[in-house]
């Protein structure tokens, strides 16, 4: 039951991210609470309640507590608290994953695999209907590019090369230079695992990405990003310990930049700066430290 809930949540999160309004967040959270409560009651009735890995549970609980404090003290708490609830609904997956068996993780991966196909097919449909940079089911093409990078390893692990090709085509359509540079770095850093062909393909893609990035240095898109990042820095300076609250960047942005057309944004388009601006530097350090520990533990022995 826990694996099924995690799989449905991850797949639904990808497919509904572009319509992530309060009603959608509330519906997902209620489903999670209902199914998790049923699982917990059944575990009590069986006389065996498994506990997550203590360190992962402590880490996730500390993150939830820090971000809740940030949300409650936020100058836009009415928006930050719902954003915190949606964040907490995703954060629980970390300790829950330590309770899921290998067979259960296979079911979760199948759900993600299904969601990946759905995203690719929707992007193809959008492209055929005139959208040159299809966002699929996400907010915008850049968010879609980030999701594609996470889905490519799933396609490779399952040996679904048709899906992998579709994901790469969609990545090309997004025109996200940052995503291509990220893919290039991943291929070059994992040379032993991917082989020489993928390594040199990554090197070529990285070089092309750097050239494209240089060509865009004076474009409005890049200039706007510099201003968003500068605004995020100013936000962190005004609230370094707890930030301005989860999801508060878009609401605080007008107070930290000179308003003009095209400068509004939901995100800072830089994960580390945005996290520090919304939740504070202690949260960012704890978040990155925990992720690093999980990745080191999951890395194969050399």
Task: Give me the domain span that covers residue 67.
Answer: 1-75+85-104
Q: Cα(first)–Cα(last) distance of the chain, in Å?
A: 35
In a domain, 21, yes or no: yes
pLDDT tens series, the chain, 302 aa: 788 888 888 888 888 776 666 777 777 778 888 888 888 888 888 888 888 999 999 999 999 999 999 999 999 999 999 999 988 988 999 999 999 998 999 999 999 999 999 999 999 999 999 999 999 999 889 999 999 999 999 999 999 999 999 999 999 999 999 899 999 998 998 888 888 888 888 899 888 888 888 787 778 888 899 999 999 999 999 999 999 999 999 999 999 988 777 788 888 989 999 999 999 999 999 999 999 999 888 766 54
pLDDT, position 302: 46
pTM over 0.75: yes
In a domain, 301, yes or no: no
Question: Encoding tokens for residue 96?
Answer: 């829950």
pLDDT, position 226: 92
Task: Return the residue matching tokens 């959608």.
Answer: 24
Count Cα atoms within 13 angstroms, Cβ side, for 77. 9
In a domain, 174, yes or no: no
In a domain, 224, yes or no: yes
pLDDT, position 38: 86
3-state helix, strand, coil in the chain (%, to 5): 75, 0, 25
pLDDT, position 20: 60
Counting the structural domains of the chain, the total is 2
In a domain, 149, yes or no: no
In a domain, 18, yes or no: yes
* Interior angle at CA 67, CA 286 and CA 5, nearest 5: 90
In a domain, 117, yes or no: no
In a domain, 114, yes or no: no
Measured CA distances, 263 to 6, 28, 76, 137, 164 (Å):
37, 31, 20, 23, 34
pLDDT, position 297: 85
Question: Encoding tokens for residue 194?
Answer: 């991917």
pLDDT, position 3: 84
How many whole angstroms separate alpha carbon 52 and alpha carbon 94? 9
């Amino acid at each position: 039951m826990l694996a099924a809930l995690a799989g449905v949540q991850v797949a639904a999160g990808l497919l509904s991210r572009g319509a992530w309004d309060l009603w959608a967040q509330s519906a997902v959270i209620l489903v999670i609470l209902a199914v998790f409560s049923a699982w917990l009651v059944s575990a009590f009735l069986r006389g065996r309640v498994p506990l997550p890995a203590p360190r992962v549970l402590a880490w996730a609980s500390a993150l939830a507590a820090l971000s809740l404090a940030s949300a409650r003290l936020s100058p836009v708490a009415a928006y930050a608290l719902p954003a915190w609830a949606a964040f907490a609904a995703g954060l629980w997956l970390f300790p829950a994953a330590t309770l899921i068996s290998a067979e259960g993780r296979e079911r979760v991966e199948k759900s993600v695999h299904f969601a990946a196909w759905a995203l690719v097919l929707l992007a193809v449909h959008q492209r055929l209907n005139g959208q040159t940079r299809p966002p699929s089911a996400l907010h915008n093409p850049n968010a879609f590019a980030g999701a594609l990078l996470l889905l490519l390893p799933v396609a490779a692990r399952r040996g679904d090369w048709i899906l992998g090709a579709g994901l790469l085509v969609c990545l090309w359509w997004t025109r996200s230079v940052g995503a291509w540079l990220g893919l290039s770095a991943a291929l070059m850093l994992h040379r032993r695992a991917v082989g020489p062909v993928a390594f040199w393909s990554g090197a070529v893609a990285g070089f092309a990405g750097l050239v494209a990035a240089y060509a865009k240095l004076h474009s409005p898109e890049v200039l706007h990003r510099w201003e968003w990042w500068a605004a995020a820095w100013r936000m962190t300076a005004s609230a370094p310990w707890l930030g301005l609250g989860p999801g508060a960047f878009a609401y605080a942005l007008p107070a930290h930049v000179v308003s003009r057309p095209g400068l509004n944004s939901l995100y800072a388009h830089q994960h580390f700066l945005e996290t520090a601006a919304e939740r504070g530097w202690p949260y960012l350090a704890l978040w990155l430290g925990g992720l690093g520990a999980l990745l080191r533990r999951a890395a194969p022995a050399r």
